[in-house]
Amino acid sequence: MENGTPQETRRLADGGRHKVRAGLMMAGLLTSAIVFGWIGGEDLSGALTFTGRVTGGLLFLASLTMFAAAAASVDYWGGRRLKYSGTILILGTFVVLAANLMMLIVQIQGRDITPFLACWLILLVWSGWAFSELCRQGIWRDLPHPRGLAAGVTVTAVAVAGNFVYTQMYLPHMSPTKIDLTTSFGKPRVHPKGDHVYLPLTISFKNIGDVEIYVVYIMYSLWGVRDEYIANPLIVADSVPRLGDRGWQLNRFSTTKKHELLSVNLNHIDPGTWVSPGETLVTEKLVMLPRNDRLDVVKANAEMYVVRTDKAKVHQPAKYDTSWGEDRAKAPPWLLKDQPKGTQFIRYDMPLKQPNKLLDLTRSPKQITVWWFSPPGDDAFPAGTFVYSRLGTTGEEFQEESAEGRYEQVDQYGFMWIVGTSDVTSIATETDAPSD
């Protein structure tokens, strides 16, 4: 009896370790099945793009494989009465490894830290342990066709990786954002009183690409220029050193006496507006200008920012904050440091939603912040406006971003600045009849 006691103790200890291994195997497979079943189900029904739903379908199928492997583990760690329980178990373990490796790669690609990062790391470590434990149990000897299984697993992994690369990298690259933004003037009409004119202005925006977009902001502005004719042309060699004083342009037969903002409009198309491929949005305005101001040139400019709908969903701003009145909103100091005192601004935020659950769990909450500035102007520079727009992690909108960060915004979300074609006209020549 005494001689059998150590053996009995060892047998009980081995049985206890066996149950612990079986429990850990079951827990890892069930946890993975629940997590990826949730992600796959959400994307299968709610992803913004067809390819995102395909990825969701693949993840949902992967979760079913994990559930089957969890059920097979009961037989494998029990009496091994089923012939293919080992095959299903090793396949499910591999799927857990591949799925969590993919999630970790996506997480690293986004350079964000989220609570689910710990989940991918834990399940990745678990899958490594599970593989080593199954190999120690000699599972490969129990498989009916180990080479065929290995080949099938490899093909499946390549197919999943290929789908991911195709949907997340290839398709956006092959379908670039294309916007046709133009401004054009009509013929000015003189008011019956003769002291002012009506200048027709058309702003046209057409999505000529293959992907839907969201409007983040759109702005047009009119500038008036008054030039003075120079009978004796400027000497180029003498004028080049002063180009910076003239806005880096040289006109030998004229000099600019006045350059001023005549009209500006922010967001005549509401932020968050969805524009489909081929859709055109046209806005027509009548701008009232003084006739006796003798503006030699009136110039129209337009610009906008957009986001691709296959990259994100953008919500409309809940409110506009201002630097005046009760709001007293703040702007980043690095944006105001080169602006004159008294610069006013408007700010609004647009929350951003990832296009699928997969990215939602691997990205920090994002938002787009837009500042529209209006410096008062001085003797050196006329009063005007400019817009700064930033896409980044919520709560970091006051941090100065790098050029690399701006490039990543274009790559990840299709967040692009579009400058429209300009148009010019002359009020004087269009409204005055030639003298005899």
Q: What is the pLDDT of residues 262-294, one digit of tens each?
A: 889 999 999 999 999 999 999 999 999 887 766
Least confident of 130-144, 328-342, 396-410: 130-144
Q: 237 or 404: which carries more pLDDT confidence? A: 404
Least confident of 185-194, 296-305, 370-379: 370-379
The fraction of the chain above a pLDDT of 70, given in percent, is: 78
Q: In Å, how far are 41, 224, 325 from 213, measured between CA atoms?
A: 26, 33, 34
The rounded distance, in Å, linking the Cα atoms of 314 and 367 is 8
DSSP state of 406: H
Q: What is the pLDDT of residues 395-424, one digit of tens each?
A: 888 888 877 777 777 778 889 999 998 888
58 class by beta-carbon count within 10 Å (0-12 exposed, 13-18 middle, 19+ buried): buried
**Per-residue pLDDT at 76:** 79
User: Does pLDDT of 40 surpass 90?
Assistant: yes
Least confident of 69-83, 185-199, 234-248, 403-417: 234-248
Phi, psi of 264 (to 5 degrees): -150, 145
Q: 67 or 195: which carries more pLDDT confidence? A: 67
The answer to whether residues 178 and 207 touch, using CB atoms and an 8 Å cutoff, is yes
247 class by beta-carbon count within 10 Å (0-12 exposed, 13-18 middle, 19+ buried): exposed
The rounded distance, in Å, linking the Cα atoms of 234 and 20 is 91
| Per-chain mean pLDDT for the chain | 82
The answer to whether residues 67 and 130 touch, using CB atoms and an 8 Å cutoff, is no
Q: What is the mean pLDDT of residues 354-363?
A: 91
**Which helix (H) or strand (E) segment is 71 a member of?**
helix 50-76
- Tokens, residue 104: 């970790």
The fraction of the chain above a pLDDT of 90, given in percent, is: 34
The rounded distance, in Å, linking the Cα atoms of 430 and 213 is 38
The rounded distance, in Å, linking the Cα atoms of 259 and 236 is 22
The answer to whether residues 227 and 251 touch, using CB atoms and an 8 Å cutoff, is yes
Question: How confident is residue 146, by pLDDT bands cut at 50, 70 and 90?
Answer: low
Q: What is the mean pLDDT of residues 233-260?
A: 65
**Per-residue pLDDT at 169:** 63
The rounded distance, in Å, linking the Cα atoms of 315 and 273 is 9
The answer to whether residues 85 and 93 touch, using CB atoms and an 8 Å cutoff, is no
Size of the chain in residues: 436
